[in-house]
Amino acid sequence: MTREDTAASESFAQRKDGGSLWGGRFEEGLAPEMVPFNLSLGIDSRLWREDIRGSIAWVRALASAQVLTSEEQTTLIDGLTHVEDRIELEGLNEAPEEDIHSVIERMLGEAVGPVAGKLHTGRSRNDQSSTGVRLYGMAAADRICVEILGLLQALQGLAKSSVDVVMPGYTHLQQAQPIRVAHWALSHVFRLLRDVERIQAAKVSAAVMPLGAGALAGCPFPVDREALRAELGFERVSENSLDAVADRDWVCDLTYGGAMIGVHLSCLAEDLAIFSSAEFGFVRLSDGFSTGSSLMPQKRNPDVAELTRGKAGRLVGNLMTMLTLLKGLFTGYNRDLQEDKEALFDTVDTLLLTLPAIAGAINTLELRPERMREGMEAELLATDLADYLVRRGVPFRTSHEVLGELVRQAEERGISLSELPLELYQKAHEAFGDDVMATFDWLASTEARDTDGGTSLRSVRKQLESVDSRLVELGLVPNF
């Protein structure tokens, strides 16, 4: 080592004061109030693996561009591998630096000396940090899809086991028409399939490599960005460096996908909370996903559903954080962008926590077909009775009116439509034959709705098959 090198090496080591990567320009350190405000290490520390991966690729790119000798390349890559092992073993040990990039560069200096200072050639933390977060985001998208698959499997299993069970279907939370339980379960399956597509699309928008964009204007050394792309597993290379350092669209895409999942799960959760109440009693959540009360001994609370519904708030909030963060930013990198990570990580963490819990609840859910039957009012078949008249040539508007009148009469008598005497039907409209009472058949009502997408047995089976093959198509191999 030359004397200069030794001095540089010492100054690397001296950065333990929380020293920045930009000390030369400044006479004084950060103000005490600014130090905690400036920190992002608590958030971005989880990106240490991605940061090292990006740096190793960058070393190779610099060596191929003749900026580093092959000896320097070996030293730096060995050093970065050493840093990786060190962090794996010891963690970050309350590193004083502002962000993970600074910590790794300091540790690299401690490992290999002043040559560490060559790593950052032609690179900025702007393209560096964006690269790391994108690598994280691509892997996170895959993990989210796997967890959605778990829930899809649970719901598909429930649907397959409840093809012949009939329940009241609702609009406005009022009994509307009978449906198969499988039809209800599948309604949630189709929402989640769209969610998988949204997360996969977000992964595609994350898979653009910003490395080589520099701080804003590009890299002055002839690095092979295509080789970097291939090494790091990105799909494309960013096409405009000024755009690349500020592009967080993909974080919006992923947090939007997450927000939609949150909204969808909150609706499933609401169904479960209502269906598990004493008034409905259509389902029973297993002990493992219910909690009791410290005060009321009888309580059996559907906490899994309530927590799931509650998590939607933060998932929607994270999307709002991202959109608000980006609105009106001046072109180029702005430090505001550092705030992207907390929203992104929270969305990913929340989904990875919520999806398995709700899947577990569905897997262990007990259906109560008898309670569903008990709860079904004959009025659920009012449309079928109107359709009966339609089949005998009565215009639907007229038959709707006739049925409305019959429902009113039954209500006045305090009885249900099925208890209303045949004479009253025939008085209401001459097209009612003696066979009208045969309309009071739940299964027949579901069978009548045999268009594709409807609740008949054929249609529900077709939906189940379509879901099975969609899961395979999506690369998510179902194991049921």
Q: Is 123 in the site for ligand ARG (CB under 6 A)?
A: no
Told to check if 131 binds ligand ARG by CB under 6 A, we report no
When the beta carbons of 39 and 204 are compared against ligand ARG, the nearer one is 39
Choose between 349 and 419: whose C-beta lies nearer to ligand ARG.
Answer: 349
Distance separating alpha carbons of residues 56 and 119, to the nearest angstrom? 9
- Bridge partners (DSSP) listed for residue 179: 167
Q: Which of 9, 73, 75, 126 binds ligand ARG (CB under 6 A)?
A: 126
Least Å distance between CB 1 and ligand ARG? 30
CB of 35 to ligand ARG, least distance (A): 14
Q: Which is nearer to ligand ARG, 161 or 324 (CB)?
A: 324
Size of the site for ligand ARG (CB under 6 A): 10
Do 209 and 411 touch, CB atoms closer than 8 A? no
Question: Least separation, in Å, of the C-beta of 12 and ligand ARG?
Answer: 19
Q: State which of residues 9, 55, 73, 129 lies at the interface with ligand ARG (CB under 6 A).
A: 129
Between residues 40 and 445, which has the closer beta carbon with respect to ligand ARG? 40
Catalytic: which of 276, 293, 416, 466?
293
Among 125, 134, 183, 229, binds ligand ARG (CB under 6 A): 125
Residues 43-82 that bind ligand ARG (CB under 6 A): 44
Could you say which of 50, 84, 97, 99 contacts ligand ARG (CB under 6 A)?
Answer: 99
- Closest distance of CB 39 from ligand ARG, Å: 9
Of 44 and 147, CB closest to ligand ARG: 44
466: annotated active-site residue = no
Would you say 276 and 283 are in contact if contact means Cβ atoms under 8 Å apart? yes
- 20, 172, 400, 418: which is the annotated catalytic residue? 172
Does 127 bind ligand ARG (CB under 6 A)? Our answer is: no
CB-CB contact of 231 with 189 (8 Å)? no
The torsion angles phi and psi of 20, rounded to 5 degrees, stand at -95, 175
Region near ligand ARG per CB under 6 A, out of 61-69, 74-82, 121-129, 159-167: 121-129
* Interactions with ligand ARG, residue window 334-363 (CB under 6 A): 335, 337-338
Q: How far is the CB of 337 from ligand ARG (least distance, A)?
A: 5
Give yes or no: 172 in active site. Answer: yes
Residue 251 lies near ligand ARG (rule: CB under 6 A):
no
Nearest approach in angstroms of CB 129 to ligand ARG is 4
The number of residues in the chain equals 480
Residue 248, interface with ligand ARG (CB under 6 A)?
Answer: no
Q: Is 253 in the site for ligand ARG (CB under 6 A)?
A: no
Cβ of residue 122: shortest distance to ligand ARG, in angstroms? Answer: 15
Interacting residues toward ligand ARG by CB under 6 A? 40, 44, 99, 125-126, 129, 333, 335, 337-338
Active-site residues: which are they? 172, 293
